[in-house]
Amino acid sequence: MSNIVDARGRSCPEPVVMTRKAIETYSGGTIQVLVDTMVAVENIKRFAGNQGFLVEVSETDEEYSLFIKK
């Protein structure tokens, strides 16, 4: 099961809050978070890592996809 969180155009801390909500309801699979700033990437990576999740980042045309999973 895949969950997509579109946080593009949102300023911090909103992308982290949106990611936290997705993690709270995590039931397996991958959470994909879409953001458009490196600040959001770093903040989400730090938060998800502290929650015990692995994070992979992919960049395309100044937008970032974070793939979060256990």
pLDDT tens-digit series, residues 25-69 = 998 999 999 999 999 999 999 999 999 999 999 999 989 999 999
- Provide the CATH number for the domain around residue 41: 3.30.110.40
Q: What is the structure's pLDDT at 1?
A: 44
C-alpha 28/C-alpha 9 separation (Å) is 27
Query: Which tokens belong to 46?
Result: 């730090």
How far is Cα 26 from Cα 39, in angstroms, rounded to an integer?
24
Chain-centre distance for alpha carbon 24: 13
Q: For 5-59, give the secondary structure using H, E and C.
A: EECCCCCCCHHHHHHHHHHHCCCCCEEEEEECCHHHHHHHHHHHHHCCCEEEEEE
Q: How many domains does the chain have?
A: 1
> pTM of this prediction?
0.93
**Averaged pLDDT for residues 14-31:** 95
Range of the domain at 59: 2-69
Q: Which active-site residues does the annotation give?
A: 12
